[in-house]
Amino acid sequence: MYHKGNYDTYSSFRLTYIRRSQAEVEYEKKHKIELQKMSLEDIDQVCEIENLSFAVPWSRESFESELVNNNLARYIVAKAEGKVVAYGGIWIILDEGHITNIAVHPEFRGRRIGEKLVKEMIKRAKESKAERITLEVRASNVAARKLYKKLGFKDGGIRKGYYTDTGEDAVIMWNELI
């Protein structure tokens, strides 16, 4: 406990590391995450993550249609040792990007893979001349909202009862890219 410049005990003092630990560095070297365009061959693994992540998951047919028929769609997968561990999608409509979905396999959460995916989607949106990006996120998804704010998104409004499984509201978030 802190009292006027002093800590009661050494154990109550917490260190804040600025650099990553050697264990984290070694783990990342061993388990390098690669981002690449989603292919039809990735869909089975994407659907597994989708089913683990969402109460109302997209179907295999929805992902196939997005990849084959939707010229506005850009989907990315994150792979570790050749296995899909996360994915994200964005539609580029004129000068706007709309993040459609993003999910990380539960075993790989907390490793900044979602952050890498969002940064990549922002990069691709900029390359496509998008001036802003929007998304909807569950009001209760504090971790995702915190990540989006860290990456420059701001709350823009509420969609009442947006999520059909629970009737939960969605927070609309925007990121101005220019």
In the residue annotation, 148 being an active-site residue is answered as yes
- pTM metric for this prediction: 0.81
**How does pLDDT run across 121-134, given as a tens digit for each residue?**
999 999 999 999 99
Active-site residue among 136, 162, 168, 176?
Answer: 136
Strands 96-104 and 132-138: parallel
Instruction: Give the architecture (CATH level 2) of 2-176.
Output: 3-Layer(aba) Sandwich (3.40)
Query: What is the number of other CB atoms lying within 10 angstroms of the CB of residue 157?
Result: 12
Q: What average pLDDT does range 59-75 have in this prediction?
A: 97
Q: What average pLDDT does range 58-87 have in this prediction?
A: 97
- Place 51 in a pLDDT band, splitting at 50, 70 and 90: very high
- Place 52 in a pLDDT band, splitting at 50, 70 and 90: very high
Domain extent listing, the chain: 2-176
Strands 6-7 and 33-37: unpaired
Q: How far apart are CA 166 and CA 145, in angstroms?
A: 19
Active-site residue among 148, 162, 168, 176?
Answer: 148
